[in-house]
Amino acid sequence: MEERMPLIGDKFPEISVQTTHGRKDLPKAYEGKWFVLFSHPADYTPVCTTEFVAFQKRWDEFQKLGCELIGMSIDQVFSHIKWVQWIKEKLDVEIKFPVIADDTGKVAGKLGLIHPGKGTNTVRAVFIVDPRGVMRAMLYYPQELGRNMDEIVRMVKALQVGEANKVAMPAGWPNNELVKDHVIIPPATDEKTAAERPKQYECFDWWFCHKKLG
Terminal-to-terminal C-alpha distance of the chain? 50
Same domain, 72 and 19: yes
Question: Residues near 117 by Cβ (< 8 Å), separated by ≥ 6?
Answer: none
Same domain, 54 and 133: yes
Interstrand relation of 135-141 and 124-129 (parallel, antiparallel or unpaired): antiparallel
**112 or 134: which leads in pLDDT:** 134
H helix and E strand count, the chain = 6, 10
**Is 7 domain-assigned?**
no
**Is 103 domain-assigned?**
yes
Same domain, 75 and 126: yes
* Average of per-residue pLDDT across 29-55: 95
Averaged pLDDT score across all residues of the chain: 93
Looking at residue 28, its amino acid is: K
Is 50 exceeded by the pLDDT of residue 2? no
Cα separation, 113 vs 41, in Å, equals: 10
Query: What pLDDT does 26 receive?
Result: 96
**CA quadruple 140, 119, 53, 39: dihedral sign:** positive
Asked if the bond preceding 174 is cis, omega within 30° of 0, the reply is: yes
Find the domain containing 207 and state its range: 166-214
**Is 9 domain-assigned?**
no
Domain containing 120 — which CATH number? 3.40.30.10
Same domain, 43 and 81: yes
Same domain, 142 and 85: yes
What's the pLDDT band for 3 if we cut at 50, 70, 90?
low
**Is 119 domain-assigned?**
yes
Same domain, 127 and 189: no
Same domain, 82 and 140: yes
SS3 1: coil
**Is 34 domain-assigned?**
yes
Cα separation, 12 vs 127, in Å, equals: 9
Bridge partners of 30? none
Same domain, 141 and 170: no
Is 60 exceeded by the pLDDT of residue 80? yes
Please tell me the pTM assigned to this model: 0.93
Query: What pLDDT does 214 receive?
Result: 79
Query: What pLDDT does 23 receive?
Result: 96
* Active centre residues (catalytic): 48
* Average of per-residue pLDDT across 118-140: 91
Going by C-alpha positions, the residue among 102, 93, 113 that lies closest to residue 50 is 93
Query: What pLDDT does 116 receive?
Result: 77
Same domain, 25 and 104: yes
SS3 211: strand
pLDDT in tens, 55-77: 999 999 999 999 999 999 888 99
Count of the separate structural domains present in the chain: 2
- Contact between 128 and 162 under an 8 Å Cβ cutoff? The reply is no
Of the residues 147, 181, 201, the one at which a domain ends = 147
Cα separation, 132 vs 127, in Å, equals: 14
pLDDT in tens, 154-192: 999 999 999 999 999 999 999 999 999 999 999 899 999
